[in-house]
Structure formats: C-alpha cells, structure tokens
Structure 1
Amino acid sequence: MHIGIIGGGPSAMFVLKRLIELGRSDFRVDIFEKKNKLGAGMPYSDEGARAEHITNVSGNEIPDLFTTVEDWVGMNHSVANSYDITVKNFNEYKVLPRLLFGEYLSQQFSFILAKAERMGLKVIVHYQTHIKDIRDLAAINKVELISRDNRVFSFNKVVVCSGHYWSKHYEDIVPGYFDSPYPPHKLTHLVNQSVAIRGASLTAIDALRTLSLNNGSFSLDEHGKKIYRLNKDCPKFKIILHSRNGLLPAVRFHLEDSHLAKDSVLDPKEVEHVRAQHHGFLPLDYVYQRNFLEGLKHNRPDFYELIKDLSLEDFVELMMIRREDTPAFELLKAEYAEAERSIALKRSVYWKEMLAILSFAMNYPAKYFSAEDMLRLQKTLMPLIAIVIAFAPQDSVEEMIALYDAGLLDLITVGDKSQIESVKDGGIYYHYIDETGQKVSSYYETFIDCIGQPHLNYDEIPFPSLIADQTVSAAKIKFSDPQIAKTYVNGGNKNVYCDTTGDYYLKVPGITIDDYFRVINNSGEINEKIFMMAVPFIGGFNPDYSGLDFGEAASARIVEKLI
C-alpha cells in the first residue's frame, strides 16, 4: 500500500499521526509540501502571519500531540523568548503568537516522523513540491499526482490536505485591491491612507493588526489601558470595516470543555436511525435539540428554562436583538468585560460554548440535512455562529478598542446586497444601502477582502483532471418538499434546480464527499482511492468548521478507510 498526502500542514500531521497509531509498517507514505517546512501550514507560517498575529485558541484547547504547548514552551526557552514568551508569563490558558505556534507544530511533526522511522514505517517528504493535478487511473486502480515541474507520482490512495486556498481575482491587476490579507507582508507598505476592509471577522483582525502597526503604535496609559498613537507622518490613516450585519466577533472566554465535546458528534448509527424516521433526512431541529439545548439543560438550567420552548429561529432572533440594538463597539467593550470575568473565574459563557459545540457537531451530518434545513442554517443560524464562535483574542480586542477610541476604526453596516466595483486605475467603489435606506457609493484607494476562507465552487477546484474526468461531482442537497423547491425556482433562486428524475436540489459549494471524506462522482459512486480533507473544497457538506479540531476529528474518519 502506497499513500500520498498532498500538503504538509496540521491536517497532514494528524493523518500521519493516526496512521502511526495503527501500529503497522506494511505501507509507505509520501508527503508533498510546497514549502520547505512541515507542520505550520498557512495560518502559522509567514504565508499567514507575522509577529503581531496571535492564535485564537489556548494551549489547553490543542488536540493531543507529543508535547503540550506549555511543556514545549518550557523546553524551548530561546525560541519562546524571541516572542516575549517566558515560562513565568505563560500557562496552558494563554494564547500565543501564531509564528511561535507554527514552530511548535513543526516540531511535533518531526516527532511523528521520528516515531514512524523507529517503527520501520517509510515516510518520504517531498519539500518544495507543488502538486498541480490529480488523475484517477480507474483501470489500474491507481492515482497519479502531477507536480508543477511535471513529475508524476503513482499511489494506491491519496489524501488531499492542502488547507487554505484563496483565488486571485483582481489582486495584481487593480492597484490597491487585495483579494485577501495573506501573506500579510504584502500589507506592510500601506501607510497614511484610509483602508476599506470587507468583513469584520478574525481575518479582518489580522489585517487590522498589521495596518495599525504600519501607521502607529500601541502603549499603555497610566491606568493600564491600551491606547494607540498615530505616527506623525500618517495623518490620513483610518480603517473602515464593512460588515453585512454591522456586528463584530465575540471575545474569547473560558471554555469549560477545552476540546468542545468531540464526543458530541452524532454517532453514525444514531444518524442512520433518525434518518430512517424522516425519509432519509436528518432534521436540523434534532441536531439543535441534541447538541445545544440538551447541553444547556445540563450546564445552565436557568438559561435553558428561558429558551427551551423557542424555535431555532426565535432563539437566534433573541440573541441577535441585543447585538443589533447595541452599538457594535459598545457591545465589544461589554463582551470584553464579560470575557475577562469568565477567564478570571474560569467559568464559561455556556450558551456561547454550546453554540460552538453545535457548530462542530453539525458539520459531519450536514450532508443529510434537507435543502430546506440547509437554507435555514445558512440564513438563520450561520450568521450568529459566525459572530459568536469567532472568539477574538483579548489582546486583539484591546487593540480594536484602542483604535476605535482614537477615532481611527469605524464599522459600517452594508447589508446582504452590497457590491464591490473595482476601478481599473486603482481602488474600488463600495456600493451599499445604508441603515436609513439610502444608496451609498464610497471610493477607497485601498481595499482588502477579509471575509475569511471562501467556500469554493466545484469548478474552482485547482486539480483540473478531477473535473475533466468527472472524478468528482458538484455538491448538492435534496429538497424534502418539491413544492417548497418550486417557490425558490419561481423566485429566481439559481441554486435550486430540478434533475431529470423530477427531484429538486440545492446547489452548495464544493464537491460531494461521503462520511469518510471520499470523493463521489456524478453517478453517486464512491471513489475508494481519493480523500478530500481540504476544507475550502468541501464547504457545502462541511459548512462551518476547520482548524485543528477538524483535522483531528476528520483524520480519524479518513484512516478508517485508508488502510
């Protein structure tokens, strides 16, 4: 058995770790990493971070590896000290610089490779090797990987762990237009100008931190509060965030369950049982009851009593009312204070924690939702989840508040129908309808798209043979009620269609996969050889989770069918 892994970041590390835990050495693994370093991936390397960028998870939230983060910091004084981290000022509840965390992950990967060698498991790492295509050779039961320099590698099975992927549309074509803030070093020349940012998520915070350090500095006042001072030669500097709903991410708080109840993922037998009772569909309301309300009933019975009779929509409306009725930065300050109390008392904000658990738990069975429920999820629950479980680190929030108090950070609500018009000679026009109903068109010399990792469509998968040979298929979710589907069709929703059998479907991003992340073709046939673990390419069936938690859980599913 010869296994190929595309990508050498955290996801690949978890796959290899799972393979080693099998205790076997009767197979071979080749890893293809486009850079010269394993483990860090994009977020924790210079592709996605600079010294100012920090993790939004603490050491105790990291899935089990060879060494805990706290112990690793203690054993690597010189590396940690270069980031102003010492044994005295660090503990398992602290976040840390992303580049430092990348060093930690890289060393953990090296430990895994060393263990493989001791076991006699052959692992070959191909550094600086970019895989540009994947070909399924069904006739000989092999998979070929083609590198950018046209070398060809043959395997029995392949796992795609390529991680984050941002397509370029206008960047390098339109001056001042950035399709993402990554790699962040490209933003370091942006000084003394107003910058429009699309989005207000953690991705936007990454851009904000780099831009603010380009144009000024942070310090503490006599009361220990963080303040911001502009450089004298940057009087025009300002950041304007543009958010669909005018909301900022929630602030990190103490998690009672630092690993977000990985056992909360519905057992396949339970999913099968529930689907059998609902014509093949898994109701979103069942997952909401099972993974959210029941947890609240156990941990916060007082809050549970307040919301137990509310529908999903009514609960979201209740939670959003306070957020929408309170000015965004005033709410940010209030939630910062709440989070500080949570951390000091080591007491969770349980409804937020349970919402994070719900987000994690619903991803694996999301493919079994009806299209009606998927649309409910997209319209109702996802906006709340996107805000509440972003978990902005305290240090980042302090900087946002300092910039706001200095009059250098604004947030504009642009609604669902805003448009970005690029200008050939440079910059963009931001078109939107403001909260008074007036049409607004604002010109900005510089624009950064910070809506986070986009879910890519089927035809954007960067492995052309998978599309050309129809090895993969576009993801879709079936409607349970054709009459409801027809209302969407009649209303002009181009993502709803009727197939040749008369069934109605909702197009969702990415490709079709099964419960073990194996790709599926248009005929519904599972490909036993190709596993898709790259989150940007499976967004329709995995709507809201990535990161280390995803890597740990998904790798377990994959390895069940890999060997």
Structure 2
Amino acid sequence: MTKRIAIVGTGPTGIYSLQQLLEIGEPLAVTLFEKGEKAGYGMPYSPDTASKSMLANIASIEIPPVVIPYLDWLEAQPADRVAAYGLDPDDLDERLFTPRLLLGEYFRDQLLLLVKTARNTGHRIDVRESTEVLDIVPGDDGLRVLTATGQDAGPFGRVILATGHDFPDNGDADGSYFPSPWSGLIEARIGAVPVGIMGTSLSSIDAAMAVAVQHGRFRRRGDDLRFDADGAGLHITLMSRSGVLPEADFYCPIPYEPLAVMTESAVAACAAKSRPLDALFDLLRAELMQADPAFCLRIGLGGLNADTFAPAYFADRKAADPFRWAKQNLEEVERNKAGRITVPWRYALLRMHERAEDIVAALSEPDRQRFDAGLKKVFVDNYAAVPSESIRRLLALRDAGLLSVLPLGEDYTLTRQDAGTTIEVDGQAHVFDVFIDARGQKPLGAEDLPFPTLREALLRSGHDIPDVAEDYSLIGPPEFRGVSIGSIPYLMHDRPFVQGITACADIAAAIAKGVATRRRRRLVS
C-alpha cells in the first residue's frame, strides 16, 4: 500500500525528511509544498534573504550528504561558478566555510536529483512551488492540506512540518528599522549613516556585512584583508549585554570522540536527583578536569558552580578590548588549524552541549532560568563560533574606522521613533538612523502556528507549546496524531540547541524512523 505523505517546507529539514523516508523501502506518494518560487534553498540560504557576503556557519565535513557530499558537489562545479562566490577552486577542502548562497544551490540541486531518482524507482513525488500552506485539516480518511492557490491536497497519513526559521515579515520593516536580518534588509538601500545592530552573533555579522558592502569593498593583499570605503558617514555598532564578540571556529576531530564522563546514562541519572542542574554541572566539571586540567586551574573551576561558571568563563573577554581579543583568538585558531591542534577544553564543551540538552525538559522552572542564565550561554558561545573569515572582516571594518562594539549591560533603554532608534546606556544616548535586530530565532509556541485549525486544536487541549514524541510526532489532539513537528522554532523550548543543518538531518532521521516503526507494527498486527 502506497503511503501518502506531505512535507511542508523544502529547506534542509524537508529535504533530509524526503531522503530518509525513501530509505524505508515502502512505496511512497510524497507531496512537497514550498512557499517560495524555487524549492530546495531554505530560508537562510535563499537569494531572497542572503547575499554573497554571508557565510554559512558549517564546513563541508559537518554537512550530512543528501545524494552526494557537499565537497564532492563543489569540486564538480565549473570553476567560474565557484569563483563567482569568491572561492578559489584550488582551495576547496572539507573544512572550508562557503557563502550561504552556494550552500543553497547545493541543497536545491540535491533536492532535484533526489526527486528524479525517487521517481525513477517508482515513487510518486510532487513538488509544488509558489504554494503557501494555509491550514491542515483533519478528516475521517486522513489530513488535508489547504493552500493559498486553492489546489488543496490529501488525504495524507503523515504531514511533516519542516517550515524552518520563522522571522517577522518584510512588512514589519520600514527602512529605518528591521526586526531581523531576514526582513527585507538584503533588498534595502542603507545610507551612509549610523547603523545599530542588536546582537554580536553570526546573524549580526551577516547584517553588518549586508550594510558594509553597499559602501565599499573588501580587498585582500596576501594574508591581509582591508575594507576600502566609498565615502564617509557610515558607522556600524554591534551591541549586546556583554559586548563580547564570538570566537573563531576551532579545529577538532570530526566525527566527535565519545565523552568520558558526561555520558547519556550519566545525564539521565541527573534527572532523578534532587538538584538535577547541579548534578549536571558536576559532570561538566569532571569532564573538563579530565580533559584539560590547566584550563580548569586557570579559571578556578574547582570552586565554581552552575551559577558562577559562566561569569568566570567570560571574565577575561569582558575585561579585554573586543577587537584585540578577536585578533589574538583568530591567530590562535589559525595556528591550531595549520597544526591540526585541538584545544581540549573547547572540544569537551562542544561535545557536551548536546548531551546537556537531554536534561533541559526535566528542569524545574527556577533551574531552567538558572540554566539559561549560565550554562546555556557558555555552550552557545562555544558551538556558535564563527568562520575565521567573518572575524577577519570585522577586524577590517574596525581598522577602517567603521565598526565598534557597545556593551549594554543589564540596564539600558531602547526607544524607537520614526526617524531612528535611541539606545541609552549609563546615561549616554546612542542614536542610530537605521536599527537592525539580529538576535536570532526565538522559541515559538502553539499560538504562533500559521495553521489555524491545528493552532486552535492545540490551544483548546491546553498545549501552549507543541509537545512531540521521540520521533517528533505531535502529542496532543488525537485528530492530529499524523502531524510531525520538524520546524525548529517550535522545538526550542525543550531543545535550546536544536539549530543548524546537522539538527535538521537528525530530526528527519527520527521522523522517518517513526514512520518505519509504525509500518512494522501494522504489518505485524
């Protein structure tokens, strides 16, 4: 019997979902719905929301292959196509960070190849582009998908929501204020004026690059990168509470080596203890002490706890000039990459963040607040390290006198006006003609779902946050038991680190595993 499945969204989660479903070995009829004109790009990698200056924060070695690995695909491209994105075809390697747009081209190519292969082996695959899904409606024979084109589809036994990131619409931007870097910034013409950007992560750097390249260009001479401005007037200010810049991506073995102390079973045991967050920190401390005793001695880890670790971790960076720290960190990571040297404490934290996430849903509200204020910040800082080239660009803009960093602390005011935005810190007013909020994706709840029938059913049943099983199938109203939630913003409440392409692939694998398990149960019964 052919299984009918709908996939809403054709970014990485949607593509990996199709890939994994095709591995089940069951005849499939899959309909993919894409709101944009072309399927396969995904919002962060689309020409509508990204420019050539924006780098993907993932190297080829980390990207799960769809049909062929990303590096193989890159090396098979015409040299002029690769060069058009600022890359030297002779410099391609598995640890290279490439422009977001190029990664988007890969995903679209892979989707088209995946669809062609699936059709040739007997599966029915329908890709509906320029088709916005308005609602998902249950019926006696399955779930129906209602679209803005009026070409409704179904019934489906499974609907996979793979709608990806969800940021404010372009209509919320007004030329002087952008509620996200994805809200019309790419198409906007920004004048040579004071520009404020809330945030210092890669999204904030992307926003800074989108503005800067309108007023000059980066030029490389040997190992040096400089920015030549076209004129005067532009100044970009990155701001955050701490005022620290992200560090550069560091070398480490991939795939990850197993942890010695913070194992899956050890973390699971923490949930049964009276103070689970503190038990988790004990594991973290033991792991770090075994991995890098010198680092632990330097920050006094033996005397720290779950609440004081983050302040100690950031203390030296907060006290230093952010650009001087960035320059020294860049030099360190580049030496380590050249020598294939792994810094043990960095690698240990990188491997621990996904393990630590397993306990988040079990934390009490007070402990969740403690986690968000402490350990979460350390983990995010570690795994969200940015490409070295992004740090070089920040330093080039600083050297050109066009970039500064403003630490906001915990007590500041933000006032929006028609003519601009004012930030007051320590009694001093900072006025920006253009303001961009680049703080990244926020967790979303049931009330944010764009599908009214599903939304109202969840809210009526008391599910303010969509709850999902291990296979991401929706827990809640029985009429929607055929829905799988693979959309990252709706998973972030209990999975704060569920970000990036590898997470998309993991979600897709779990969804397909759940579909296959249910199929086996039907066959047995």
With the length of structure 1 as denominator, give the TM-score of the two structures: 0.82
1:259-278 to structure 2, matched below 5 A, reads 275=271, 277-278=272-273
Is structure 2 residue 506 aligned with structure 1 residue 553? yes
Aligned to 2:520: none
Picking from 483, 497, 510, the partner of 1:544 is 497
Give the superposition deviation at 1:19.
1.0
Aligned to 1:143: 143
Is structure 2 residue 444 aligned with structure 1 residue 456? yes
1:24-423 to structure 2, matched below 5 A, reads 24-25=26-27, 27-78=28-79, 79-137=81-139, 140=140, 142-154=142-154, 155-168=156-169, 171-172=172-173, 174-182=174-182, 186=186, 188-220=188-220, 224-232=223-231, 235-258=232-255, 275=271, 277-278=272-273, 283-288=276-281, 292-293=284-285, 296=288, 299-300=291-292, 302-303=294-295, 307=301, 310-423=304-417
Identify if the C-alpha distance between structure 1 residues 68 and 288 changes in structure 2 by more than 3 Å, giving closer, same or farther.
Answer: farther
Spell out, residue by residue over 1:156-178, the C-alpha distance to the aligned partner (whole angstroms, 9 max, x if none): 11110000111249834x44111
Retained in 1: the 8 A contact 2:310–2:377? no
Q: What is the Cα-based RMSD across aligned positions, in Å?
A: 3.0
Q: SS state of the match for residue 219, structure 1? A: strand
Retained in 2: the 8 A contact 1:188–1:210? no
Question: Take 2:166 and 2:446, find their aligned partners in 1: how far apart are those partners?
Answer: 14
Spell out, residue by residue over 1:278-322, the C-alpha distance to the aligned partner (whole angstroms, 9 max, x if none): 48xx933455555x4565466445546763664233332321111
Q: SS state of the match for residue 21, structure 1? A: coil
295-304 vs 252-261, greater mean Cα deviation: 295-304
Retained in 2: the 8 A contact 1:519–1:532? yes
Q: Which ranges of structure 2 fall in alignment gaps of 5 or more residues?
A: 517-525
Q: Which amino acid aligns with 2:439?
A: I
Q: SS state of the match for residue 245, structure 2? A: coil
Aligned to 2:483: 530
Question: Take 1:60 and 1:472, find their aligned partners in 2: how far apart are those partners?
Answer: 45
Question: Take 2:161 and 2:254, find their aligned partners in 1: how far apart are those partners?
Answer: 30
Question: Take 1:262 and 1:322, find their aligned partners in 2: how far apart are those partners?
Answer: 27
Retained in 1: the 8 A contact 2:247–2:386? yes
Give the superposition deviation at 1:203.
0.7
Q: Which amino acid aligns with 2:219?
A: S
Spell out, residue by residue over 1:487-527, the C-alpha distance to the aligned partner (whole angstroms, 9 max, x if none): xxxxxxxxxxxxxxxxxxxxxxx433233222233x8x795
Q: SS state of the match for residue 88, structure 1? A: helix
Give the superposition deviation at 1:218.
1.9
Question: Take 2:330 and 2:450, find their aligned partners in 1: how far apart are those partners?
Answer: 40
Picking from 393, 412, 420, the partner of 1:427 is 420
Give the superposition deviation at 1:49.
1.3
Retained in 2: the 8 A contact 1:246–1:414? yes
With the length of structure 2 as denominator, give the TM-score of the two structures: 0.88
Identify if the C-alpha distance between structure 1 residues 319 and 473 changes in structure 2 by more than 3 Å, giving closer, same or farther.
Answer: farther
Q: Which amino acid aligns with 2:116?
A: A
Q: SS state of the match for residue 388, structure 1? A: helix
Retained in 1: the 8 A contact 2:197–2:436? yes
Q: SS state of the match for residue 56, structure 1? A: strand
Question: Take 1:206 and 1:34, find their aligned partners in 2: how far apart are those partners?
Answer: 24
Question: Take 1:260 and 1:103, find their aligned partners in 2: how far apart are those partners?
Answer: 31
Question: Take 1:261 and 1:53, find their aligned partners in 2: how far apart are those partners?
Answer: 33
Question: Take 2:82 and 2:385, find their aligned partners in 1: how far apart are those partners?
Answer: 24
Question: Take 2:469 and 2:149, find their aligned partners in 1: how far apart are those partners?
Answer: 32
Retained in 1: the 8 A contact 2:118–2:125? yes
Q: SS state of the match for residue 57, structure 2? A: coil
527-536 vs 458-467, greater mean Cα deviation: 458-467
Retained in 1: the 8 A contact 2:486–2:507? yes
1:478-493 to structure 2, matched below 5 A, reads none
Question: Take 2:367 and 2:470, find their aligned partners in 1: how far apart are those partners?
Answer: 19
Give the superposition deviation at 1:88.
1.4
Give the superposition deviation at 1:184.
6.1
Give the superposition deviation at 1:51.
1.3
Q: Which amino acid aligns with 1:105?
A: F
Retained in 2: the 8 A contact 1:194–1:445? yes
Q: SS state of the match for residue 401, structure 2? A: coil
Question: Take 1:472 and 1:295, find their aligned partners in 2: how far apart are those partners?
Answer: 44
Question: Take 2:421 and 2:178, find their aligned partners in 1: how far apart are those partners?
Answer: 11
Identify if the C-alpha distance between structure 1 residues 473 and 74 changes in structure 2 by more than 3 Å, giving closer, same or farther.
Answer: farther
Retained in 1: the 8 A contact 2:57–2:387? yes
Retained in 2: the 8 A contact 1:15–1:559? yes
Question: Take 1:262 and 1:120, find their aligned partners in 2: how far apart are those partners?
Answer: 43
Retained in 2: the 8 A contact 1:179–1:449? yes
Aligned to 1:512: 467
Q: SS state of the match for residue 409, structure 2? A: coil
Identify if the C-alpha distance between structure 1 residues 31 and 289 changes in structure 2 by more than 3 Å, giving closer, same or farther.
Answer: farther
Give the superposition deviation at 1:368.
2.2
Spell out, residue by residue over 1:166-199, the C-alpha distance to the aligned partner (whole angstroms, 9 max, x if none): 1249834x44111111266545511211101111
Identify if the C-alpha distance between structure 1 residues 284 and 39 changes in structure 2 by more than 3 Å, giving closer, same or farther.
Answer: farther
Q: Which amino acid aligns with 2:160?
A: V
Aligned to 1:507: none
Question: Take 1:528 and 1:143, find their aligned partners in 2: how far apart are those partners?
Answer: 10
Question: Take 1:4 and 1:196, find their aligned partners in 2: how far apart are those partners?
Answer: 41
Question: Take 2:69 and 2:75, find their aligned partners in 1: how far apart are those partners?
Answer: 10
Question: Take 2:462 and 2:245, find their aligned partners in 1: how far apart are those partners?
Answer: 33
Q: SS state of the match for residue 469, structure 1? A: helix
Is structure 2 residue 6 aligned with structure 1 residue 16? no
Identify if the C-alpha distance between structure 1 residues 347 and 271 changes in structure 2 by more than 3 Å, giving closer, same or farther.
Answer: closer
Q: Percent identity?
A: 24
Identify if the C-alpha distance between structure 1 residues 324 and 304 changes in structure 2 by more than 3 Å, giving closer, same or farther.
Answer: closer
Question: Take 1:320 and 1:196, find their aligned partners in 2: how far apart are those partners?
Answer: 24
Retained in 1: the 8 A contact 2:262–2:287? no
Question: Take 1:123 and 1:472, find their aligned partners in 2: how far apart are those partners?
Answer: 35
Q: SS state of the match for residue 249, structure 2? A: coil
